[in-house]
Amino acid sequence: MHIHILGICGTFMGGLAVLAKEAGHRVTGCDANVYPPMSTQLEAQGIELIQGFGPEQIELNPDLYVIGNVVSRGNPLIEAIMNRNLPMVSGPQWIGDHILKDKWVLSVAGTHGKTTTSAMVAWILEHAGYAPGFLIGGIPQNFGISARLTGPGAQSEFFVIEADEYDTAFFDKRSKFVHYHSKTAILNNLEYDHADIFPDIGAIETQFHHLVRTVPGIGRVIANADEASLQRVLKRGCWSEQESFGSADGADWGMTEHADGSFDVIFQGAKAATVNWQLSGKHNRSNALAAIAAARHVGVPIEIAAQALAGFQSVKRRMEVRGTVNGITVYDDFAHHPTAIETTVGGLRQKLRGTDSAGRILAVLEPRSNTMKLGTMKDALPGSLKDADLVFGFGSEKALGWKLGDALKTMGDIASAYDDLDIMVKAIVAAARPGDHIIVMSNGGFGGVHQKLLEALAQ
């Protein structure tokens, strides 16, 4: 089958393209922004890319058009496809029907931690010899790729997928995850996000309940017991096995934390294993509990899962060290929601308390998500940055629709806002001193600020 993918350079659709190619399909695609690194990754797979959405692309005469949710009505290629009544399907539905239908699907849903937790589950299964396929919204450093059909030389029945609550396509406003045929479903957490498509948290809870409804009776829902929103979701009805994790009374899975970042896994009141690893932060330990629980559902012993996590290398853009110059370390992190920002900065603060380092935390933030641009979360920014010693915000009033400087004003002299990237880099370099930690947080490329900082620090 020849499929032509609209919006192919997005993380999800790019992963879909790789899976389709591995499955033996001819794959072509187009996007508004065809540029590295996604373009080079796809071209290396033998996938032909076209810049833009010109209607002449129907002359490729594919068997099926796969539509990404970045594409909307009015798009010239979409209009040409619809006017000719040509076959089209959303990306999530294509994945569900052609890749996941006969798999044991382990899905990870939640406002935060989906990518890291999915990577943990995939790595545990890999370590245990299950050779899973996966589609993850980032690049797990243990694998070096974001998607694969199955392990090398294997035909695995298991597939791990990051299950996003964002809508499916312009013609399907259900969340992506309802298409995935989940048999093991992790519900990590649930907060208000995606203000561009959800009016309130109740609307998101409804979508999460749609996911719960798709899990079969022999499946298992593994939910965070500390999240009131998830408890409301489950009270609407659950027809599958259930397990819970967290610190709430009665949770099936808990932990005993140690000062060095390691933790004991507590299952049904008894110590089952100890995880000794390199990651920091309570959020990562919580993610690990969920991953261990999911892996146990497919038969991986708890002790084996704990051993796997000892070798887990996290995900690119999740506290990824981009370089150290003159004793100053620059990190890249995907955090863009206030809760994720607070967790990221707080996790590093906790890690530093356990060392001899007296270095400061310099937080560099670009609030560019759709939710941030709507101003829905701007008042929560100062609280989310409370563990930082200095804060540098980037974003113009024209781009955001609100003044970043005003939002950070309550932080006083430790916070400053900029709309010129080069000026901000100079300010950060002037403030930084040996031993400091600079965390750059954005869900975009941030103008290559990481490399700019490293080069300026070197000078």
DSSP run (H or E) holding 400: helix 397-400
115 is in an annotated binding site: yes
Cβ atoms within 10 Å, residue 307: 17
Q: Can you give the pLDDT at residue 400?
A: 82
List domains and CATH numbers for the chain: 2-90 (3.40.50.720), 102-310 (3.40.1190.10), 320-458 (3.90.190.20)
Secondary structure (3-state) at 94: helix
Q: Is the per-residue pLDDT at 86 higher than 80?
A: yes
Specify the pLDDT at position 375.
74
Structure tokens at 420: 């010129």
Distance CA 321, CA 198 (A): 34
Q: Could you count the other beta carbons within 10 Å of the beta carbon of residue 89?
A: 19
Mean pLDDT of 115-132: 95
pLDDT at 317: 73
The two tokens of residue 320 are: 């990824």
pLDDT value of position 357: 60
- pLDDT tens-digit readout, 28-60: 999 998 766 677 778 888 899 999 999 999 999
Can you give the pLDDT at residue 309? 96
CB neighbour class for 144 (10 Å; exposed up to 12, middle 13-18, buried from 19): exposed
pLDDT of residue 358: 65
Strands 2-6 and 26-31: parallel
> Would the annotation count 409 as a binding residue?
no
Residue 112 labelled as part of a binding site: yes
Taking residues 127-140, report their average pLDDT.
92
- Ligand-binding annotation for 323, yes or no, is no
What pLDDT is stored for residue 303 in this prediction? 97
The first and second tokens of residue 248, run together, are 């709430």
246 is in an annotated binding site: no
pTM score of the predicted model: 0.80
Across the range 415-434, mean pLDDT stands at 92
Mean pLDDT score across all residues of the chain: 90
Residue 355 has pLDDT above 70, yes or no: no
The pairing of strands 437-441 and 361-365 is parallel
**Phi and psi of 18, rounded to 5°?**
-65, -45
- In this structure, of 64-78, 118-132, 167-181, 325-339, the range with the lowest mean pLDDT score is 325-339
CA angle, corner 332, sides to 208 and 45, nearest 5?
75
